[in-house]
């Protein structure tokens, strides 16, 4: 019986230490993204901001798990999940030698990249829609795997050799900014707003916006590279 208890305790300790290591790597990766975002902001302000008051760039470090980069009419939000996940058995990375040599390498922390309209926050349009344009998965060794829309998905995904460092953070940040610049707001279907109640109009007049706005509202939005495997529960 004592042997069984010790075995359970050892597994608990091993898994706990693994997840703590992954958490720390992910947390440090987000700090690198924050640094890259602040550097981008400073570079823009020093080299382009003076003569372009109408197009501003602003970085906000909101808390330990989130930062925002506002540029033009858009906001990018980088959000770290506090939990650790494992790739599903059907994901392509599970077939690699890198994972087969050490299955614990398949456990990762996650950083989401969301795109919102700046006006959604400025005017407190709480019904507006943001879009997940990418996510980063970082394991215990600081290796990362990226998934998402065009520019982000085109980053070379060699999980065994992609180490998350400042250069990686900068590349991902610039890729996300570039995608967002070209991710335009489409005119919604006329039929979507054909009816409105008196209460809804009064809410709009009181600046309590009930109209829902999103870049692809009413249009299909999905990853350009369909995810080949979802994270396991």
Domain range spanning residue 145? 2-205
User: Exposed, middle or buried by CB within 10 Å (0-12, 13-18, 19+), for 86?
Assistant: middle
- Both structure tokens of 57: 């760039």
The answer, yes or no, to whether residue 210 has pLDDT greater than 90, is no
Burial 39-59 (b: 16+ CB within 10 A, else e): ebbeebeeeeeeeeeeeebeb
Average pLDDT score over the chain: 85
| Spatial separation of the C-alpha atoms in residues 155 and 144, rounded to whole Å | 11
Element (H, E) at 57: strand 57-63
Query: How much is the pLDDT for 205?
Result: 62
Which tens digit of pLDDT belongs to each residue from 122-174? Answer: 888 888 889 999 999 999 999 999 988 776 765 667 899 999 999 999 999 99
**Measured between alpha carbons, how far is 148 from 154 in angstroms, rounded to an integer?**
9
Give the least confident one: 81-85, 89-93, 186-190, 206-210. Answer: 206-210
Instruction: Give the other-Cβ count within 10 Å of 214's Cβ.
Output: 20
> Percentage of the chain with pLDDT > 70?
79
pLDDT at position 153 is 61
Residue 207's pLDDT band (boundaries 50, 70, 90)? low
Answer yes or no: is 227 within a domain: no
Taking Cα atoms as reference points, which of 152, 134, 113, 110 lies closest to residue 25? 110
The pLDDT, as a whole number, for residue 110 is 97
186 CA to centre of own chain: 22
Q: What is residue 50's predicted lDDT score, i.e. its pLDDT? A: 77
223 occurs within a structural domain: no
Domain membership of residue 222 (yes or no) is no
* Assigned domain for 37 exists: yes
Q: Please compute Rg for the chain using Cα positions.
A: 21
pTM of the model: 0.83
Q: Is residue 150 part of a domain?
A: yes
Tokens coding 7:
């075995």
**Residue range 65-71: mean pLDDT, rounded:** 97
Q: pLDDT tens digits for 21-45?
A: 999 999 999 999 999 999 999 999 9
Question: Which of 43-57, 68-82, 147-161, 217-231 is most confident?
Answer: 68-82
pLDDT confidence of residue 180: 93
Tell me, yes or no, whether 229 lies in a domain.
no
Spatial distance between the Cα atoms of 139 and 25, rounded to a whole number of angstroms: 7
Examine the pLDDT at 102 and tell me if it is beyond 70.
yes
Q: Is the pLDDT of residue 192 over 80?
A: no
Confirm whether 116 is domain-assigned.
yes
pLDDT at 197 over 60: yes
What is residue 66's predicted lDDT score, i.e. its pLDDT?
98
Contact, 26 vs 140, CB < 8 A?
Answer: no
Note the pLDDT tens digit of each residue in 72-87: 999 999 999 999 999 9
Looking up tokens 């959000």 gives: 79
Report the pLDDT value the prediction gives residue 63, as an integer from 0 to 100. Answer: 96
pLDDT at 214: 67
Number of structural domains, the chain? 1
Residue 63 belongs to some domain of the structure: yes
What confidence score (pLDDT) does residue 33 get? 98
């Amino acid at each position: 019986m004592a042997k069984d208890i010790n075995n359970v305790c050892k597994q608990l300790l091993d898994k706990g230490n693994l997840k703590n290591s992954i958490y720390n790597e992910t947390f440090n990766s987000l700090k690198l993204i924050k640094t890259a975002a602040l550097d981008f902001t400073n570079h823009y302000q020093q080299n382009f901001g003076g003569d372009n008051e109408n197009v501003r760039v602003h970085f906000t470090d909101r808390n330990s798990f989130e930062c925002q980069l506002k540029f033009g009419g858009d906001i990018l939000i980088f959000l770290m999940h506090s939990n650790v996940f494992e790739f599903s058995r059907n994901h392509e990375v599970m077939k690699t030698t890198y994972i087969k040599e050490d299955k614990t390498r398949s456990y990762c922390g996650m950083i989401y990249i969301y795109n919102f309209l700046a006006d959604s926050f400025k005017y407190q349009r709480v019904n507006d829609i943001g879009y997940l344009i990418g996510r980063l998965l970082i394991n215990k060794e600081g290796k990362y795997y990226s998934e998402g829309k065009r520019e982000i998905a085109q980053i070379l995904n060699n999980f065994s050799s992609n180490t998350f460092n400042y250069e990686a953070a900068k590349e991902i940040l610039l890729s996300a900014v570039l995608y967002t610049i070209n991710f335009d707001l489409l005119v919604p279907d006329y039929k979507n707003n054909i009816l409105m109640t008196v209460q809804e109009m009064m809410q709009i007049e009181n600046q309590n916006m009930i109209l829902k706005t999103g870049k692809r509202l009413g249009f299909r939005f999905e990853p350009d590279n369909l995810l080949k495997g979802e994270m396991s529960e």
